[in-house]
Amino acid sequence: MELATTYLGMVLRNPLVASASPLSQTVAGVQLLADAGVGAVVLPSLFEEQLRREAEQTARLADAGTESFAESLSYLPPEPEDAQASRRYLSLVRRATKAVDIPVIASLNGVTAAGWIDYASAIQDAGAAAIELNVYYLPSNPHASGRDVEQRHVDILRRVRSAVSIPVAVKLGPYFSSTAEVARRLDEAGADGLVLFNRLMQPDIDAETLTVTATVPLSSPVEARLPRAWIALLRGRIRASLAATTGVAGPADVATYLLAGADVVMTASALLRNGPGYATVLLDGLVDWMRRKGFGSVDEFRGLLRVSAGRDAYLTGMTTAREVYGPTR
């Protein structure tokens, strides 16, 4: 049974990718995921806020030393925590890429076009196989137009794309008025892949403690319907690779994403619930499903139920699955 697939121009041994989670924040965790059989691993994001604070704290350190003797190193305050965090991240990239024989994808999380270039380059130099841009942005300014929000994504991609030679993917949120157009613009701006969709952190309010809580619940299979629909619509309409994420609980969820047209299927929640070894269960289950359906390779059924690229599909409540996807196998 042939599970090999291509993502971001890289040949992976199978289409299952461990997305960013606490499991991939250590070299030992990355090794466990690789041993369980995943095709690639995405590291947790380095946040732009960390880089901003690091730059500010470094500047303050430099100012603090201007009135001291250069030889008196004891006058220097301790290194900022964020500076340590950024170095730890690069160290994780270096050590993880050496520890496993699968691609290790680094992740950058931010909202502005400035300040990304140097660190993207540093991540590339550390050995990352690719970079995933996780553009987390909730536009609270009522004067910011939707076009401005979309352009921010394109600008960030172009800045990073111009600074590195390794593949760059963009992880998108689902809240665009025209997701297909945003996907096309990013594709034309040089995105090697799109990850659909980002599960944005949604803070809540605890009425008893009068505090704001910030938790990210694990995903459920019902959440896969939206990204699966958009992958089916985009397959064949853009050049960039398509990565599915959210809502993977079992092997059938992996198969349905691939039928829609995903190049890879990313999961974190299933692995957090069941442990890194659950990747083997997902892959074995996919092989069993392929055998039962008579498929010898992933390429044979990838995109089988995509929306035809020759049609402009307008989905309404009256649209049937057969009208959208065409006859099933």
Range of the domain at 191: 5-325
CATH number at residue 199: 3.20.20.70
DSSP-assigned beta bridge partners for residue 168: 131
Lowest-confidence segment of 5-9, 12-16, 211-215, 268-272 by average pLDDT? 211-215
Cα distance between residue 230 and residue 225, in whole Å: 9
Is the CB of residue 53 less than 8 Å from the CB of residue 80?
Answer: yes
Q: CA distances (Å), 80 to each of 54, 55, 60, 86, 206, in order?
A: 7, 10, 10, 10, 32
**Count: domains in the chain:** 1
Say what angle helices 278-293 and 27-36 make with each other, to 10 degrees: 20
Residue 62 has pLDDT above 50, yes or no: no
Maximum C-alpha span of the chain: 79
Query: Model confidence over 102-161: pLDDT tens digits?
Result: 999 999 886 565 667 778 898 999 999 999 998 876 777 888 898 988 998 999 999 999
